[in-house]
Chain A
Amino acid sequence: MSTLQVSVYRYNPENDDAPWMQDFQIDTQGRDLMVLNVLQMIKEQDSSLVYRASCREGVCGSDGMNMNGKNGLSCVTPLSEVVKNNRLVLRPLPGLPVIRDLIIDMSLFYKQYERIQPYLQNDERPPSIERLQSPEDRDKLDGLYECILCACCSTSCPSFWWNPDKFVGPAGLLQAYRFLADSRDTHTQERLSELDDPFSVFRCRGIMNCVNVCPKGLNPTRAIGKIREMLVRNTA
C-alpha cells in the first residue's frame, strides 16, 4: 500500500475567507521520500499550492513546517520519520501569521533576532590581523553559531505563541547567548541590561519543545539557562 494520504493546510487570501485542509493521494512507490518530495508531487496535482524551499539539504532553513504535529525541515524529514497510519498532515509553523498556504510571515521572528544585536561589538582598536581567540574560547561557540534561523524552535514554544512581541524566543536567545559567550565581544554588560526584564528571557518555562524540534540538534533551553545564570550573577 504505497498510496500516502496527505492533508495540506490551504489558505489564499484572494479566494478564501478561512483556512481549510485539502486532501491528496500520493503514490510514493514504496520509496522513503522526503516530505519536500511529496510537496513537489502535490504541486504537480495542484499547482496553486505554495511553500518555501531552497537548498533541499537542510542548511538554508526555508522549508520549516509542522508535519504530523511536529515542526521540522521538509527537505530532510523522511516519510518514515513522520507518517502515522499512512497519513501525513502538513500545516504551517504555528503561532505566526499565515500569508498563503504553508508560507508564514516571519517579521516578528526576525524583529526579535535584530533586537538582540546579532553582531560582534568590540570597542577596542581593531588589530592589524584578525581578533585572536583560543581554541577553548572558540569551543564555547559550538552549538550556538550553527543556527539557520528556520524558526522551528520559536514556533513550537507556547511562551512565544502568547507573547511573540515581548518574549525574544528560543532562536533569538540562542543567538544572544552566542554573542554573550564570544570572548571577542566586549558589550556583555549592555547586552545583559537589554535582556533584564520579566519578558525577554524569563518567559522561558523550560517546556523544552525547542530542543525537541531543532533540525540542527541545538539546545536553546541550555543557552537560556546560561543567560539566566549570567543575569543572576550580574544582579544579585
Chain B
Amino acid sequence: MVINILNPGRNGVADWMIQRASAVILGLYSIFMVAYLLFNPDLDYAAWSGLFSHIWMKVFTLLALLSVAAHAWVGLWIVATDYIKPAAIRFGALLFVILALFVFVVWGVQVIWGV
C-alpha cells in the first residue's frame, strides 16, 4: 500500500474515475464547441453572447470548466510524480498547477455570469 496526500481522490479508483468522467464531459463539450463554430462561420457578437445567455449553456460551460480543473489536476499530478523526484520542487510545481487551475475556474465563472 502506497500512501499519498496530494492525489485528488481517496484512492486509485477514485482518481481514475474522476479522470475518465471529466474526459467524457470535456469530449462532449469540445465536440459541441467545434461543431458550433464550424457551422456558424459568420458568427457575430449577438449570436455568440446569445448562446451564452442560455442557462443550459452556462451550466454546461461551468461543468466543462470544473472538468478541466479535475482532469488537468489528475493528469499533471501523475506527470509531476513521474518526473519531479525532489519533493520540494514537486510540491512547488503542483502548487503552481492548482493555483493556475483555480484562477481559470474563477476567471471562467466571472466570464459566464458576466459582470
Distance in Å: Cβ of B1 to nearest Cβ of chain A? 6
Q: Which of A84-92, A139-147, A176-184, A192-200 contacts B (4 or more CB under 8 A)?
A: A192-200
CB of B16 within 8 A of chain A?
A: yes
Q: State which of A162, A200, A201 has its C-beta within 8 Å of the C-beta of B83.
A: A162
Q: Is the interface of B mostly helix, strand, loop or mixed?
A: helix
Contact A199 B82 (CB under 8 A): no
- B interface footprint on A164-180 (CB within 8 Å = 1, 0 otherwise): 00100000000000000
Q: A228 — which chain B residues lie within 8 A by C-beta?
A: 16
Q: B14 — which chain A residues lie within 8 A by C-beta?
A: 235
CB of B53 within 8 A of chain A?
A: no
Residue of B nearest to A202 (CB): B12
How far is A194 from B3 in the complex, measured between Cα atoms in Å? 11
Residue of B nearest to A162 (CB): B82
Q: B7 — which chain A residues lie within 8 A by C-beta?
A: 198
Contact B11 A198 (CB under 8 A): yes
How far is A234 from B13 in the complex, measured between Cα atoms in Å? 9
CB of A236 within 8 A of chain B?
A: yes
Q: B3 — which chain A residues lie within 8 A by C-beta?
A: 197
CB of B40 within 8 A of chain A?
A: no
Q: A163 — which chain B residues lie within 8 A by C-beta?
A: 81-82
Q: B11 — which chain A residues lie within 8 A by C-beta?
A: 196-198, 235
